[in-house]
Every structure is written in structure tokens, then in C-alpha cells.
Amino acid sequence: MTHAAHHFLPPYLLERVASQAEPGLGHLASRTLLVDRHFRSRAETLDLPEASAEEGQPLRYVYTANQEQTLPGKLIRQEGEEETGDITADEAYAGLGATYRFFWDILGRHSIDEVGMALLATVHYGQDYVNAFWNGTQMVFGDGDGELFNRFTIALDIIGHELAHGVIGHEAKLIYQGQSGALNESIADVLGSLVKQYHHEQTVEDADWLVGEGLFTERVNGRALRSMANPGTAYDDRILGKDPQPAHMRDFVVTEEDNGGVHINSGIPNKAFYLAAMALGGNAWDAAGRVWYVTLTDPRLPEDSDFATFAEMTLQQAGHLYGALGREQQAIRDAWRDVGVDV
């Protein structure tokens, strides 16, 4: 099964760097955009290793591209082997494992496809490649430029986010355009954040609710790529510009860029999830996370779902799981209404 590639950095951010940064950095951003457009135009058909036959046990394979653009590259670590000493490869291996552990422990999901799909990652992709992506069969990580962006294995939620795109592709197949595309991005942020929170044993109050914290170098005036708690506040930088995400439907961005604003408008459902999780307290994966996941895997969820359709289905699922008119359903209703989605 193949799916279109999903990249962590949105094209508008790389375009900004390409136009605003000094020539060296601008060139790297432009080169990354060319690579990304190539992958956005097609899906990969890599032959995967056999799936994990044991439920609860991942099968991980980490490769290096050695700064080339050949996938998957040279195998340097597989399931059960010791650390390589290459921090990027070992972070990728650990991140794949932490994501699988969340899928299995909390969602009862045996890998991306439910039947033990092998988890593959390629590191050191390209020359100073400034992105990471899921190409339908594996994760791919660039090393960053060292000036604005660190290595893309540095943040666990980046790994969780991209693997979540694989789950979304196997389940809802949300069309990557407009509001359904923004939901696609938002659900990947939700699951990526939950992977991080579960791994660090964080409650909703402990969590930073940042996506991609650590990715920016000290040169950048920013905390992360996105903030689920306060969309639009993650960064405000001379080169990168200001975080453009809205937190409410009144500020919804109408654009033809970025597949109709999929990385921008995802801030609205992100905020709704944050508000619901905070209202319910405890661990975000317990009630709010369960409702979002069950909604994602509901076969009735339309591929072209808009925010209102998804919101209504979360209310239905909250009622099924926790009882109609219960605190869970009310918290979720209030959260959607607070971001301007009327349910």
C-alpha cells in the first residue's frame, strides 16, 4: 500500500528561508524544496521486510543514505542490536521504538498497519537536507543545515508525527487538501505529541504542547515549529518570519498554497484537542486521545471531512465511550466551540 509523501516542514517556511536568508542557507532551502516537490509528486514502492510476527514487538531497521538520495541506503542497525554511536541513527531507532510502544500500549495497535509492519528509517539523507518525511513506506531524515535547523531526529514528536501519517493513510485516508488535509496534519500532531507525553510520562499540565521543540538552533527566535496550546506563537524570527497558524475559525486562512493551508489551519483542531485534554486533566491519551483515535479509525469518517464533520464525530464517539452528556463529551463540545467550530 502506498501513500503520498508527507513532509514535516511546510513549503512556505522553506520558501521564506530561500528568499530571506543569506545565499548559502537560501540555497539549501531551495534545494530541499526541489527534493520535496519530487517526493510530493509520487509515492514510494519500497519492498518492506517481513512484518513482526509477535504482537507487542516492533521490527526496526535504520539505514544511512550517506548524504546521498538513494533509499533506503545502507543498513546500520536493526532490531535488538546495540547502539551504533551515530546519534542520528540511534535517535531514529529509539524514536521508532517509542512510537511503536505508544501505538501498542495505549492504542492496542500492532505497528502502522495493525499487522506488524516493519518500521524503517533512513538518516543522513542528502546534502544538508532540511526536512524529514514519511514516503508511504518509511521515514527519511535530513541532517539540517546546522545554522537554522538541527538534525530532524532530535525531536521525538517529529518521528511520532510522521509515523502517524502512515496510520492515517491506512485508516481514514483523509484527502490532503483544505480542511481534510489540515485535519490530517492535526491528527499527526496530536499522535506525535501523545507519543512524546507517554514516553516522558507527562500529564497534560506537565507537557509543553510544542511540536518540534529542539529543531531550531539557538540562532532562531522560536521554541518549536508549532504550539498546540497557543497556535501562532511558536516562533517570530527575522528569517523564518512569524508563526502563521490561526487558533480560531475567524482567522482561518484561505489560500491555494500548501495544499490549501494544511500546515497553517491545522492550528485550529490542534487547539481544540489541547483544550479538551486540559479540561479533562490527567493523561491526554486517556480520554481525549482515545476519542480522537477512535474517530480516526471509524470507517464512517469521510475522506473529505471538514472540521465540523470531524468534531461532530468526536462528540458521538465520546458519548459511545463515556456516556452521553458526560464530562468527556461536554469538554470536547466546549473545546470545539471555543475555536469557532459549532457542534
The crossing angle, in degrees rounded to 10, of helices 11-20 and 23-40 is: 150
Q: What is the mean pLDDT of the chain?
A: 94
Q: Give yes or no for a contact between 203 and 330, defined as CB atoms under 8 angstroms apart.
A: no
Q: What is the pLDDT of residue 5?
A: 80
Whether 170 is catalytic is no
- Indicate the residue type of 158: I
Question: Tens digits of per-residue pLDDT, 134-190?
Answer: 999 999 999 999 999 999 999 999 999 999 999 999 999 899 999 999 999 999 999
The model carries a pTM of 0.95
Ordered by where they begin, the domains of the chain are: 6-171 (3.10.170.10), 178-338 (1.10.390.10)
pLDDT at 56 over 60: yes
Q: Is the pLDDT of residue 75 over 60?
A: yes
- Residue 1 predicted with pLDDT over 50: no
- Distance between CA atoms of residues 176 and 8, nearest Å: 14
Is 24 a residue whose pLDDT tops 90? no
Q: How confident is the model at residue 2 (pLDDT cuts 50, 70, 90)?
A: very low
Number of residues written out for the chain: 343
Catalytic position from the list 124, 161, 199, 263: 263
Concatenated DSSP letters of 187-239: HHHHHHHHHHHHHTT--TTT---EESTT-B-TTSSBS-SEESSSTT-SBEETT
The single residue of 91, 147, 162, 328 carrying the catalytic annotation is: 162
Q: Which amino acid is at 139?
A: M
Q: Looking at residue 79, what is its pLDDT?
A: 97
- Told to judge if 162 belongs to the known catalytic residues of this protein, a careful annotator would answer yes
pLDDT-derived band at 46 (thresholds 50, 70, 90) equals: low
How do residues 186-242 score in pLDDT, each as one tens digit?
A: 999 999 999 999 999 999 999 999 999 999 999 999 999 999 999 999 999 999 999
